Each structure stands twice: as structure tokens, then as C-alpha cells.
Structure 1
């Protein structure tokens, strides 16, 4: 076929060469015992083939997301996801083809982003050049045990905590700090919307939700009336009758 960009011929030639040897899964995951191919194995195999067939790969990171998790032993674990593009460029005619993929990794130190970028490159190469494999699907060399996300508002026995117990939770301090920073009704409305999502995600018990609603209503009244906040914690109120008289629950 006439006028076919050289980049596709180069990809075909690399694919044909690497298909004869493949990349053996010679490394072993120490936690779970399975074999895998590391990023160095991919680099070592592709380096000479890319040069031989006049093909250049130029990486580009588009996005990076990071979240902090906790290990089973209570340590910090950083979970990073990157979205990356790789330009495959023919050194013969400058023709280019771009592929996009994701890379994910976890690390307890400062290597999570490095690992995620390596994973993105490795799997882009695996899929692009159809590199032969053996055994199970590939994975990183280490496996981290991540603690299950704690559901606030529930004790070890699985029973709901009282409204008064909310004062002892770190999340309540965060709630109060952000609430007191709300000085206008629009800002308070956004705060309420954002925290409603957090509360549902963390499965707060109804008693805690009631306390949050009361505090938001108090802040709203303070903003509208220009009055100081009432520092009484709703969970400390002595009777149900007084709670029923609160503007939020009384309508």
C-alpha cells in the first residue's frame, strides 16, 4: 500500500522481532509468590529493537491523582494513578502514532509516582507490541495489604454511637473548623452539600446526622442574624423535648 506512514511499519517490525523471543516472567512477587516481568525487562528488550527499527517513544504524563491509605499495620501508603500518552515516532519520516494508558501503584515512601509511570509504560508496550507472556496476568513486584476503610460512627461491635460520642471524633473537629469558616449563605450551602456526600460515604449513624443538621442550622441563623454562635454541643442537650424545639426539627 502506497504512502503508509513509516511509524506503522516500525511498530510491525518491532512486534515481529519481539514475538520470536517474548519476555520471560523471571521475577517473583515476594508477598504472593507469582512470577512477573519488571519494567527493566521491558526496557532491556525494547532498547535495541527500537533503535534497530528507527522507532522513538516519547512519554507524556497528562494527569496524576494521589490518595493516602493505611496499611494493615497502621502505616501510611500512597496510592497514585497517572494517565499517560506515548508518542511513537518514526525516525525515517517523522510520522507519529499516539497511545494513551493508565498506570497505578502504591508505595509507603516517595516512589509511588515513579512506579505508576513505569507501570503505564510497561503495559502500553505490552499491549502495543503484543509481547508474548506466560502464566498469570502481570503485576507489580510488591503487594501491599490495605486496611479496610473505617466506617465512622460505628464501634467494634457494629452498634451506632450516641450523638454525644461524636465530640470525641477527629472528623467532628474538622466539621466544626470548616463550618465556622462559612461566613455567607452561599458558602454555607456549598459546605452543606460537600459534607452531605462525606457523611453518606462514611455511613454516619442518624444520631450524628442530626447533630450535624443542628449545627448547620445554628450557623445559618448566626449568619442571617449577625449573632455569635451558640457553643452548646447538641449531644449535650438534656432532653428530647428541647431538641424537638430546634428550628431544624420543628420546621
Structure 2
């Protein structure tokens, strides 16, 4: 049955506490399906627009607001031209009485863009996961992120999956970017699975040194081969001792003019 309570009648009622309002919103939101799809990496996810649309109406109905505050931010360039922003955002949730939840929601959002939209994308990601945490929004099956082909149950599993990718394992720049990301997140000291005493940093640095050494060795061999080729060409095709004109006729070498003898 539809709610027929008027605005005037609602104004005379006692406002809900922030906890009561949050529970009421949670009851109305329900699961949000995985309607977004990443075609490049072949996985589905809960889209930001779907989550916001599901929460916006009930939040307005029960007088809830989410107030963001960026408490930490990191910016760097990944690869040659991808700008990356990692933002830590604290969300205070305020109810219709003006009271707030005891423990704010803290989330980390990451965004990447070749132009100037990295921070915007990071804020969007942070807001999406703040909504999911605050109102326990599920997709009625499994957590969407664990369906991501390169995600797993712990951070080190994700990094291992990245290292398994040929475009990362064979690329010194990609390895350096991965190590920079791990360092920024405090994950560079994580230990590799089934390799006691071996950290993520040591694996990436050792692999990077090997790739650089192999590249230098290739350049050295190429330089030697080029020099050998030049020597062979010089031996097989020496510079002619005589010059030739347009009709392929030898042109006598010009002799230096003789100086006249001094008078006796």
C-alpha cells in the first residue's frame, strides 16, 4: 500500500535518529544488480549510477546526507602518460535530527585518466563504495569485485595476478609502476605466496634488474653486429682509388702544383 502521509503530517512526527533512518533506507534499497560490464577485461560490476539511483530516493525520504572529506591523497603518473589519483575519503552520515553516526565511513578510491579527470574518477569510486558499505548494498549473489579476473581475496593475490600478465612481467616500466602503486598502498613488504622470506618488492626489483640487464646486453650485441657489418662492407667494397666522371671514365688524380725552383 502506498504511503499517503503528507509533508505536513510528516513534519509533526518525531524525526528519526540517524541509526533509525539508515535502517529504514537499507530496508528500501535492496540488492543492486551487476548491470555494468567491462568489455576489455570481460567482467560485470555494480555500476555507480545504479547504486546512487537506488540510494538517493530513500535517503531523501528519510532525511539522510553523506558528507565527504578527503583526508589523504596521492597523485602520480603510471607508465608514460596515465595520471593516477588515490584518494582516502571520510564520509560522515547525518540524520534528520542533525545527529551523525558514531564511526564515519572511510573508503579509498582510485582513478586513472590520460587527461585531468583522475581525481574526479577517484571520488566517484570512493562514493560508490561508501554507499555500498553504509547501506550494505549487495547484488544478491557474490561480491562483485571478487569476480574481477585480476582480483582476489587478499592484496598479494591481486599483485601476483598482475605479475602473471606478460605485458607487466616483460615490461620494466610496467613493473616500476606496479611497485610504485604497491609502495603507495603500503603493500610492497607483503610476502609472496609459497615463498617464505620473499617480499613483493624484492621480486619486482629483481625482475626489473634482469630485464634492464637483458636489454643492455641486446644493445651491446646489436652494436657489435653493426660494427662487424661495417667492417665487412669496407672489406668487400673498398673505396675506389680513382674518381670517375659521369661517363664512368677515370679522372686522373690531381697532383699538387710544383713550386718553381729558386733562381740561382
TM bucket (normalised to shorter chain) is: 0.5 to 0.7
* Corresponding residue of 1:37: 46
* Corresponding residue of 2:71: 62
The structure 1 residue matched to 2:175, chosen from 148, 164, 178, is 148
State whether structure 2 residue 3 is matched by structure 1 residue 28: no
Q: Distance in 1 between matches of 2:109 and 2:122?
A: 5
Summarize the alignment of residues 27-106 of structure 1 with structure 2, pairs less than 5 Å apart. Answer: 27-70=36-79, 75-91=80-96, 93-97=97-101, 98-106=104-112
Q: Do 2:34 and 2:144's aligned partners in 1 also have CA atoms closer than 8 Å?
A: no
Q: Do 2:44 and 2:144's aligned partners in 1 also have CA atoms closer than 8 Å?
A: no
CA deviation vs aligned residue, 1:31-60 (integer Å, no higher than 9, x gap): 111111122112111111101111111111
Compare CA radii of gyration and give the structure with the larger one.
2
* 5+ long unaligned stretches in structure 2: 1-14, 151-161, 169-173, 177-204, 221-264
Q: Distance in 2 between matches of 1:125 and 1:138?
A: 15
Q: Do 1:18 and 1:131's aligned partners in 2 also have CA atoms closer than 8 Å?
A: yes
CA gap 1:127/1:136 in 2 versus in 1, 3 angstroms: closer
Q: Do 2:46 and 2:144's aligned partners in 1 also have CA atoms closer than 8 Å?
A: no
State whether structure 2 residue 137 is matched by structure 1 residue 131: yes
* Corresponding residue of 1:14: 25
Per the normalisation by structure 2, the TM-score is: 0.50
Deviation at 1:152, TM superposition (A): 6.3
Deviation at 1:136, TM superposition (A): 5.2
Deviation at 1:81, TM superposition (A): 0.8
CA deviation vs aligned residue, 1:110-165 (integer Å, no higher than 9, x gap): 111111111111111111211122355239x9x99762228469332586x99xxx
User: SS of the counterpart of 1:131?
Assistant: coil
User: SS of the counterpart of 2:121?
Assistant: helix
User: SS of the counterpart of 1:96?
Assistant: coil
Q: Do 1:105 and 1:113's aligned partners in 2 also have CA atoms closer than 8 Å?
A: yes
Q: Do 1:63 and 1:84's aligned partners in 2 also have CA atoms closer than 8 Å?
A: yes
* Matched length: 149
Q: Do 2:26 and 2:135's aligned partners in 1 also have CA atoms closer than 8 Å?
A: yes
Summarize the alignment of residues 104-119 of structure 1 with structure 2, pairs less than 5 Å apart. Answer: 104-119=110-125
User: SS of the counterpart of 2:123?
Assistant: helix
The farther-off stretch of 146-155 and 59-68 is 146-155
Segments of 4+ moved more than 3 angstroms:
143-146, 150-154
User: SS of the counterpart of 1:155?
Assistant: helix
State whether structure 2 residue 132 is matched by structure 1 residue 120: no
* Corresponding residue of 1:203: none
Q: CA RMSD in A?
A: 3.2
